[in-house]
Amino acid sequence: MQRAKIVCTLGPASDDRGTIRRLADAGMSVARLNASHGTTDERAELLSRVQAADEATADPLAAMIDLRGPEVRTATIAEPIRLPTGSTVRFIKGETATSETVGLSHSIAAVEPGDTVLLDDGRIETTVERVDGETVIARVDSGGAVGSREGVTPRGVDLGLDLIDDEDREDLRLAAEHGADFVAASFVGDAADVYEVVDTLESFGGTETAVVAKIERGRAIENLDGIIDAADGVMVARGDLGVECPLEDVPLIQKRIIRRCVDAGIPVITATEMLDSMVSARRPTRAEASDVANAVFDGTDAVMLSAETAAGDYPVEAVETMARIVRRIEASGEYAATRDERVPAAKAGARTEALARSARYLARDIDATAIVVVSESGYTARRTAKFRPPVPVVAVTPDDRVRRQLAVAWGIDARYASYSTDIDAILETAVAKATAAGVAESGDTIVVLSGMIAGVAGTDATNTLKVHTVAERLATGRGVVSGRSAGPLVRTDDGDLSGVQSGAIVALPAGFDGEFDGDVTNIGGIVAVDEGLTGYPAIIARELDVPMVSGATVPAAVEEGADITVDGDRAVVYEGDVVSRRTNGTETSVRDR
């Protein structure tokens, strides 16, 4: 199971229904709709296609609307223009662009002579020579081609732009009214900016839409802890970070943001140019493969593709390539060692975190195949992911939006289950979902963690952590002698034990009133149709100290010699051997008392 998820930006190369489905099949967990391109109406149509793809796929597919925010972009143009190195260029607010005059979405007249203005993620660098009213005249220090709607960054200059403009407000309305799972807030500087986005969403009824804060300014790094506390997730937007900050600082900033997000237990997405060469090539560079690998080693919840899937020639191949890199790294011993060395501490006084951390180590110590989390809001599931358990995590939730929002969280396979007011039914459904996910089968041990669920007796004020054996229940009766034992089924109507192998589970019919004939020490357990605690079979079971269940009938469909398990503690008979333990690579059947 792949732990780190993949976020894909949709665009002209990938915004049709067929390609969206192929991206999802290739490994896309979150579809990003970039509001810097296209119209709100176009995004509404695209959001509908993403939601239709989610309904058609088994794995959750979430939708994220990435706001423009207070950004400056070049004018919309049909063909790129060139800014030659050494030339002079004029920046104005306008809707056209030439090699001499570049129109921008906002005025940058707040700059001063000597300031640096960068275009296209810093690929083009200019220095301001003078400001004439609303016109900025600059020298091109490092030239190149400028395309339509390219980002423009006056380094270190506050242009005084509103965090949310009218276009952003319409996109927030779209997210709230059409059920987008995430909104990515661009160019936030502190927690107050995050809360402004949250408040605007709520004013449109979007109380359940999660807000991802994009870290792309130096001021945001200074206020990182407050932003993490305020946001539902964080994106390391390395393109703008590399423009705002010295290039050599970006790898360190990335690692620090990821570490702090993991410690806080909120999802973190690593973004920008991860497989950039695949915009026009079928294979990434080795450096790009290493970039993805390092983000996975750092512990990121998700890695993101931008132009590779939005406008590239090979969008599906880019996702397939990224998924292969992620899976290869996660399967390595180096990754396991790094993951186990970085398990954060549980927050003091936080019961859910303490239980989630305990579940991680409990699963390791008992050789469980999975952790199954029952989570109404997703909180308990995200707390479990925080501690990066070494086994798959299956989260079961009655809220379909929570199912999709968990698609960005590390290591979580989110599944929908209808709401129930009975905790036993909920847990039974959760185990069934784990089996359906392929992470557990009959005989496996799993750890089950349940969060607080409104309206369910016994869960409204407590969390539950339990160890569960996955098995098909054949019969339920009354426990006579405790303990668990597994072995081949032997049916005897008259008590004849000749030829019975050691450890056999003996099933007795209704009305059995005889005695055993043969070596009773070969009996590993007894199942009797007749109820009773004092009859001959019960006496033998106590003398041999083997588990016995009375008042239970093994179905006729179970073949003679098939392995079954008698659990005297729970008074249940299970299909198969559910008490075996793996030791040094070999299976050993044991009594579990």
Positions marked active-site: 32, 73, 214, 272
Within a 13 Å sphere around the CA of 519, how many CA atoms are in the beta-carbon half?
Answer: 10
Cβ neighbors of 470 (< 8 A, separation 6 or more) are: 431, 434, 435, 440, 441, 442, 443, 444, 445, 446, 578
- Amino acid of residue 588: T
Kindly give the pairing relationship between strand 124-132 and strand 135-142: antiparallel
Q: Which helix (H) or strand (E) holds 56?
A: helix 40-56
CA distances from 12 to 65, 282, 307 (A): 16, 18, 10
Distance CA 240, CA 306 (A): 13
Q: Which helix (H) or strand (E) holds 136?
A: strand 135-142
Closest among 302, 263, 228, 259 to 386, alpha carbons compared:
263
DSSP 192-252: HHHHHHHHHHHHTT-TT-EEEEEE-SHHHHHTHHHHHHH-SEEEEEHHHHHHHS-GGGHHH
Distance CA 135, CA 284 (A): 41
Identify whether the C-beta of residue 503 lies closer than 8 Å to the C-beta of residue 589: yes
- Amino acid of residue 356: A
User: Any bridge partners for residue 431, and if so which?
Assistant: none
User: CB atoms < 10 A from the CB of 370, how many?
Assistant: 26
Distance CA 145, CA 94 (A): 19
Identify whether the C-beta of residue 148 lies closer than 8 Å to the C-beta of residue 132: no
Torsion of CA 156, 159, 160, 163, to 10 degrees: -80
Closest among 472, 474, 470 to 441, alpha carbons compared:
470
Residues in the chain: 593
Closest among 181, 240, 190 to 211, alpha carbons compared:
181
User: CB atoms < 10 A from the CB of 555, how many?
Assistant: 9
Distance CA 18, CA 557 (A): 46
